[in-house]
Amino acid sequence: AMSLQGHQFQCLSDNYGFLIHDPESGDTASVDTPEAAAINNALEEKRWKLTHIFNTHHHFDHAGGNEELKAKWGCQIIGFDGDFERIPGIDQRVRENDLVEFGGTTARVIEVAGHTSGHVAYHFESDQMVFVGDTIFALGCGRLFEGTPGQMWGSLEKLMSLNDDTVVYCAHEYTQANAAFALSVEPENQDLVKRCDEIDRLRSQNLATVPTSIGLERKTNPFVRPSSVNLQSTIGLVGGSPVEVFAETRRLKDNF
Ligand code: ZN
Ligand code: FE
């Protein structure tokens, strides 16, 4: 049953902060810690007390506030076992398919290496929410800083196996730039064309384009659409394997 309340707010220049709150137990989690001050302000505004931090990966704009928040709140920090030495303050070390108890529900850990070698996502299945850090973005995917295209493609496939209604909380507002690239590689995708208009409308009012959903990404995000004939022909890889098409799409975006 759905039980969690969420709160999304801006951090740093283009990160999003996310709080999730279980009203019954009072438990409150911050997914990543881009900016301790912004997170403390959000907690104060909601009158919630921080009990957990779920870290997706070690980058500073995701774990930089861990120590300050833990010192203030004494909260429990959950992070990937393999990144124990890179993510400050981990109390609970997790791996693929581990279930983390939070309030009256559980989050399942999905290992999604690629952006970094130790990236994880947290799937709150009963609330149809997934927190993906810098793995998938609205119309985009994370840069491959530490992983290979094969690893990242495997990670995206895992996320795309979630049901279409799953709400996807990605950590940055990169959507408008991603949209321009997506249109350049899949110009005949009418769902994409429509979505880009909507994105322009939202951004012209300074509104968030996050969260997104698995179903919407499935229809419009070129990084999870390697079987699109339009994409394959635009990038010159008709009949290419999913990993080949993904790798070339990612390479083109790096140079876009
Ligand atoms: Zn990152
Ligand atoms: Fe980031």
Backbone torsions φ then ψ of 79, nearest 5 degrees: -155, 170
Instruction: Mark whether 61 is an active-site residue.
Output: yes
Please, are residues 158 and 246 in contact by the beta-carbon 8 Å criterion? no
Active-site residue, from 57, 58, 119, 123:
57
* Bond prior to 211 in cis (omega within 30° of 0): yes
Instruction: Mark whether 172 is an active-site residue.
Output: yes
Instruction: Mark whether 119 is an active-site residue.
Output: no
- The tens digit of pLDDT for each residue in 27-42 reads 999 999 999 999 999 9
pLDDT exceeds 80 at position 48? yes
Instruction: Mark whether 59 is an active-site residue.
Output: yes
pLDDT exceeds 90 at position 239? yes
Please, are residues 109 and 100 in contact by the beta-carbon 8 Å criterion? yes
Instruction: Mark whether 115 is an active-site residue.
Output: yes
Distance between CA atoms of 120 and 147, rounded to whole angstroms?
13
Please, are residues 228 and 222 in contact by the beta-carbon 8 Å criterion? yes
* DSSP track, 140-164: EE---SSS-HHHHHHHHHHHHTS-T
Proximal ligand: closest to the CA of 119: 1
Q: Name residues with Cβ closer than 5 Å to ligand 1, which is an ion.
A: 59, 134
- Mean pLDDT score of the chain, rounded to an integer? 98
Partners of 131 in the β-ladder? 122, 169
Band (pLDDT 50/70/90 cuts) for residue 2 is confident
Proximal ligand: closest to the CA of 15: 2
Give the per-residue pLDDT at 1.
Answer: 60
DSSP E strand boundaries for 116-203? 120-124, 129-133, 136-137, 140-141, 167-170
Give the per-residue pLDDT at 194.
Answer: 98
Active-site residue, from 21, 115, 119, 123:
115
pTM: predicted TM-score of the whole model, two decimal places = 0.98
- The tens digit of pLDDT for each residue in 58-77 reads 999 999 999 999 999 999 99
Task: Using the mean position of ligand 1's atoms as its centre, give its distance from the Cα of residue 65 in Å.
Answer: 14
User: What b-and-e string marks burial along 86-125, b requiring 16 or more CB atoms within 10 Å of the CB?
Assistant: bbbbbeeebeeebebebbebebbbbbbbbbbbbbbbbbbe
Give the per-residue pLDDT at 132.
Answer: 98
